[in-house]
Structure formats: structure tokens, C-alpha cells
Amino acid sequence: MEEFNVKNFLFSSSATVYGTPKYLPLDEKHPCIGDAITNPYDTIIAQSEWNIILLRYFNPVGAHKTGLIGENPIGKPNNLMSYIAQVAVGRLPYVSIFGTDYDTPDGTSVRDYIHVVHVAIGHIAAMKQFEMNCGLKIYNLGTGKECSRRAGNLATVYADPTLAAQELGWTAQRNLDEMCERRKS
């Protein structure tokens, strides 16, 4: 990056770096897997004055109305919405819901689903932070709303998107019902 004078770096990450939640909702200060990870970017930033933004997505779903970004219901499903889409287009006969033993209201795991268009809007909002020489910033991109279930997952994981709202002026604009409805069009 130094060779090409790249001073800004926006990295798309995942909420999975948090591992098993120690508290909810998850905010950017929550420890990552390994709990005591020291951040190698701190040294880089101090030495090179780089601006690095990490966006941690919580379960992106859906597609842009053009179909250019988002999930393709033809491939192997990798989340609940993909399975639902494949049932909707007739590629699968039904959706199996696994697990009823989690410590949640319905016994299934809880997630925070975010529409891919809002992830893209979050990227644009984050890139504006580069103008302020932001150093290292971490933002959770999620709705902060809880929804149930995917097999093999932790019982409950959802975002605290407060910092992204405060510093980026970014909030998710669709609830899960709207994400599903837009998926059909």
C-alpha cells in the first residue's frame, strides 16, 4: 500500500469475529475471538498515518432490485434467506427449521439481518470518514433488531449499530418483513 501511496483502506469484515457474545447487543468494543487480541493496525496507523475502516456486517440478505448485488437463489444456500428464496422459486420443496433448545423465546437462535443495499450505503457513509483522517475505525452494520433461526448458530447475535448512526449518519432502513418483500420484486 505504501508503494502506491494508498492511505485509506476500508475492509469488509463480519460479526463472526466477536465469537460467543459476552453481552448484547454487540458493540464495537466487544472483544473479538481470543478475547485479548491486540490490533496490528494500531502500529501501522501510527507509523504510516493510514485510515482504516472495518465494517462488521450482521447477516447480509436480499438483493438490489436490478439483481446486480445480493444473493442468487440458484447457488447453494448459505443462510436462511437463501433457503427461503429457493423455496419461493421452486428449487427446494420446503425450508427446514432446526433446533428448539436455545435460551430464546421460541427456542431457536436469534440473528440480526441487514439488507445488502444498506450494507452498500454503509460503505459510502464510511468512506466519507476518510476525509477526516479517521485513523482506525470499526463499525457494526446491522439493524439492532433480533430475528430467529439458522442451524448450528450461536443462540443470540445482534448488532449495536449506534456508533455507525452517530458517526456515519447511517442506519438500516428496512425491517426483515420489508427485506423479504423486496426480495420478491
Contact 147, 176 (CB under 8 A): yes
The three-state (H, E, C) secondary structure of 129-151, written as one string:
HHHHCCCEEEEEECCCCCEECCC
Gap between the Cα atoms of 122 and 90, Å rounded: 33
Catalytic residue among 18, 23, 41, 83: 41
Gap between the Cα atoms of 79 and 84, Å rounded: 9
- Picking from 183, 89, 97, the residue whose alpha carbon sits closest to that of residue 147 is 97
DSSP summary character for residue 114: E
Contact 123, 55 (CB under 8 A): yes
How many residues are listed for the chain in this entry?
A: 185
| 15 three-class SS | helix
Is residue 41 part of the annotated active site? The answer reads yes
- Enzyme catalytic residues: 41
